[in-house]
Structures are given as C-alpha cells and as structure tokens.
Chains A and B, each alone.
Chain A
Amino acid sequence: MIIVMLIGLAAGIFVGFAFDVSYPSEYSFYISMGLLAAMDSLLGAIRADMEGKYNNLIFISGFLTNAILAAALVYLGDRLGLPFYYAVILVFGGRLFQNLAVIRRLIIEKYLTKKEKDITN
C-alpha cells in the first residue's frame, strides 16, 4: 500500500512538473483547500485501514463532501469578506495531526508490543 502511495505521489509530482498547469491566482485558495481535504482524507483512510474499519464508499464520499464544503466555505467567505477559510484550515489541520497521532499509536502498538512479546517469550 505504501508503495502504491509513493508511486502516486511521484506520478503527481511528475504530472505537475511535466504539464505546465496554470490557473488564475484567485483560485489558489480553492486548490489549497482541496489539497488539505485530500491529505485529511488520505490520513483518515490510512487510520481506518489500520483499525480495520476501512470502506471504499466512506473514503471517497468523505473526500468529496469535505472538498465541496471547504470550497463552499471559501467561496462564501470571499463573498462576505470574512476569512471563513480559517475554519477549513483549522479543522483539516487539526484532524491531520489527530489522525497522525492515532496512526503513530497504532504502529507503535503493532510493532513494539510484538517485540515485547518476543522478548518475554
């Protein structure tokens, strides 16, 4: 799975460099919000995977709804002149760290407890 992800990342970076994608700078917020939503979904999916609760439908629907809500908030903030994107950044950023912490714990439990068992045996 890690190999697939690394290949995907490498391919994405390659695509980004190879094709000269340009967009109006006013959309950069939307792209960053999409990026945050994608990273959040990715970490959430990894966590769910390690907890054995992974579901394809939940993964993809979560990513899409999160991205749409983030874009809607950014758009609304743009219209109202209020920095609503803070909400998106804070929530996604917070969840990134939370998910990472859970993943870390799961990895530590998985490998370290095994080792301890090995030692005790």
Chain B
Amino acid sequence: MKGKAILYFIICLFVGCSIVVLTKTVNGQHLFVSSKVLDDYRITIEGERKDIENLIKLADESREELEALEALKAANEDISREVEARLLQDLDFYSLAGGFVDAIGPGVEVVIDDGTRDLEFGENPNDILVHDLDLLLIINELKDAGAEVISVNGQRIVDTSSISCSGYTVRINGQFYARPFVIRAIGDGSRMSAALIGPGGYGTVLKDWGLIFRISILDDIVIPAYTEDRASKYMTLSTADKVKEGENN
C-alpha cells in the first residue's frame, strides 16, 4: 500500500514536472518539422561544417609553415634561401594565374564558325552567326567545368578581359577578330567537353541553330601570355584595418 502511494507520487511528479518543462521550453512554438526541412537543414549544416573544416585545415597549414620558418630562425640558420624558394614558387603560381607567362597542359579546343546552311525565307542572318554572347557563354561553361586557363583566338582571357560585339567582328581584349573562333582551355578535357556537348549543353544548342561547333580533347595545349597593356590606374592595395571582411560586400 505504501509502495503504491510512493509510485503514484513519483509518476505524478514526473508528469507534472515534464508538462511544465515542456511548456516552458516549447513556449508555443511549433515543434513538428517535416523531414524535407530537416534534410535541407542537414545539408546546410554539413556544408558549413565542411567550410569550417577547410578553414581549420588552412589555419593549421599556415601555422605549420610559420612554425617551420620560426624553427629555422630559432636554429639561427639562414632562412633567406628557404624564403626565396617559397617566394619563387608563389611567383610561378601568380604569374601563371595572372597571365604573364605561357601556359601548357591538357585541355580542349573548341572551334566555332558561322553556319553554312541556307536561310529560310525571311530568316534573320544573325541566327547563324557567331556572336560575342556565344563566346561569353561558352567561356563561362568552360570555367564552370573546371577550366584553369582560357584563350580565344590566341588572346588570353584574364581578369580584365572583355569580349564585345563590333559588327561582323568580335572585339577580344581590345583586338578585333573575325570568324572562325578557336577557344582553348586547359583543364579536365572530358569534363569540359561533356559540359558543352552534353544534352542541354551550349554546343548542342549552337549546332541546333546551324552553326559549326567542333570540340576536341588535346594533350598539349599552349595558351600564350596576356600581351595587352594592363597598368592599373585606380586600384591600390587595401590593408586589413581599412576593410573588414564580410562587412561591406
């Protein structure tokens, strides 16, 4: 009899306590979430987690580098050689990325030319001409598919490159070019060609319009350096205390 009363008391205590705790925490907010929303959140969280991991890895790498240099310094060795090697390595990378030297590597060569089919009655001839927009879209697709360096008719596409229409020619980096257009890109050749000639790819669209579009995967593609003038007039280096990251984007 006594044990029964105690058990009843304990269970009632639990019921009352959990009711209060639940109402206090839930606070009228809805708790039931559909599994789709949960899944979306999970994907977002995983992405963020991966970002964090990458950042931590980056920080670790930088720390290791710093430690190695500091260890050399502490050992009172001459670190100038080490630093110089590192700087030269950096220089190679930046000159490649900036387009100051020729680049060579495997990739794709895309040839686009005006169509040769007969126009239908009343059809606009523009339908079978290559336009600046076609070139821009193809370059974007190539970059999306992992292209590292791109040139159009021998003009290296760098950060300040522009492609614009000028009548029957196309202006690339300030120089005028006429058909045919040869786009070379260094990167994963099969991936880039798949992106262009796969279903819905832009190459297929151009072919459907009647233009000539050829793509070939090559082993040794040479992309020349950027030769135009690229002196900067307006931009200067910004220091860390002038601009805070992520606050004025």
Binding site for B on A (CB under 8 A): 1, 4-13, 15-17, 21-23, 25, 28-29, 31-32, 34-35, 38-39, 41-42, 45, 49, 54, 56, 59-60, 63, 81, 83
Contact = CB atoms under 8 A, between A and B. Distances in A.
B15 interface: yes
A111 B26 CA distance: 41
B22 A8 contact: no
Contact of B20 (A12, A29, A49, A56): A12
Contacts of A4: 5, 8-9, 12
Contacts of A35: 14-15, 18-19, 22
Nearest to A78: B38
B12 A9 contact: yes
A10 B16 contact: yes
Nearest to B20: A16
Nearest to B42: A81
A35 B102 CA distance: 72
A56 B12 contact: no
Given A7-B9, A42-B11, A16 B17 contact: yes
Contacts of A9: 12-13, 15-16
B25 interface: yes
Contacts of B20: 12-13, 15-17
A3 B17 CA distance: 17
A34 B11 contact: no
Given A7-B9, A31-B21, A42-B11, A12 B3 contact: no
Given A1-B8, A8-B8, A56 B3 contact: yes
B15 A38 contact: yes
Given A11-B13, A16-B17, A38-B14, A45 B22 contact: no
Interface string B34-59: 01001100000000000000000000
Contact of A8 (B9, B26, B35, B38): B9
A59 B19 contact: no
B12 A42 contact: yes
Contacts of A13: 16-17, 19-20
